[in-house]
Amino acid sequence: MSSNSNNKKRVLIIGGTGYLGQHLLQQLSNNNNTPIQQPFILAFTHHSTLPPQPLLEAIHSDCLTFPLDLQNVDGFHAISSTFGQPDVVVNCAALSAPSACEIDPATAMSVNVPSALVKWLLSFGNHNTLLIHLSTDHVYEGVKSFYKEEDETAPVNVYGKSKVKSEHFISANWSNFAILRSSIIYGPQTAAPVHKSLPVQWIDSLLAKGNEIDLFHDEFRCPVFIKDVVTIIQTITSRWIADGTHMQVILNVGGPDRLSRLQMAETVAAVRGYEPSLLKPVSASTINRGVKSPADISMDIKKLTQTLGFSPMRFEEGVKLTLADPTDITS
């Protein structure tokens, strides 16, 4: 390990102002207030805009922040001089909208393939940093159900291709990594609300107004609750810090339910008591979204549960937690 086991471990979140980044920062910060948990020195990066005040108020004031453009290694110099070599880096940053990736493939590749990040880690002269990298279920072609990690990656869009390239780049150049192929992540809003549409809240808001919604009945995913993703990252981090054994692991990170968008909305309607007739099934093949979308990228998560001893919650339970009164949920 790069630092003595009695010292606080340095954890750097790349993309800390995004949806996953904020939830992760808040949970790790809460752990720092709990004596039985591993204390961390936390830092995170942000791009373009300053970290929002609600996020800073939700985490420790001594959490370091750094502006960073993932396409340029220069931004990492300030992290080296102020923060030093991190024990763990969690790369949450990405150009993740498939349509945006399709419009600008060059930017998608340069942002989503973390070449500058890995080059920076290599500058320390060792591989004593664990790199936890968020990938996607879009790496799979989508022609069958319940893909396993060892199945062929044959993405049908630029987003998926950029993530496959990122996986190959990391495995070829860095010897200590955990790659997490995430499905749709859903859950409560962040401390500083993100601009992107959150799937459960979007469905809920339309149904609450009595609006009809067209929903795909023939595209399948394994949506995963945000706090389960955070738990998975925490568990991997704790294992690395506990024994220091380099890991090279790829894990499917999805929930236990294979669901279409229509079935996801039906669950929201059932939980909230909305009229199910408002939900109108349509085929994904009838809509031109400007980007190919895989039909069925549901994932087998046996390796995840066996490796970490953790089982993500069912979608219905996650929906209830997502839509609960925030004052009733501890962070």
Beta bridge partners of 90: 13, 132
Is pLDDT above 50 for 13?
yes
**What's the mean pLDDT when you consider all of the chain?**
92
Q: Give which of 304, 203, 187, 172 is closest to 251, Cα–Cα.
A: 304
Lookup result for tokens 């300053």? 50
pLDDT value of residue 329: 42
**Interval 208-230 mean pLDDT:** 97
pLDDT attached to residue 49: 72
Q: Which two three-digit tokens encode residue 291?
A: 């980007």
pLDDT in tens, 38-62: 578 999 999 877 899 999 999 866 8
Q: Is the pLDDT of residue 4 over 50?
A: no
Domains, the chain, ordered by start: 9-187+223-255 (3.40.50.720)
* Residue 325 burial (10 A CB sphere; 0-12, 13-18, 19+): exposed
| pLDDT over 70 percentage in the chain | 93
Whole-number pLDDT of residue 11: 96
Q: What is the dihedral of CA 3, 4, 6, 11, to 10 degrees?
A: 10
- Confidence check: pLDDT of 299 > 60: yes
Residue 199 confidence (pLDDT) = 96
Q: What confidence score (pLDDT) does residue 71 get? A: 86
Query: Mean of the pLDDT values across residues 8-20?
Result: 95
pLDDT for 1 beyond 50: no
pLDDT by residue (tens digit) across 107-163? 999 999 999 999 999 999 999 999 999 999 999 999 999 999 999 999 999 999 999
Q: How high is the pLDDT of residue 8?
A: 85
pLDDT at 283 over 70: yes
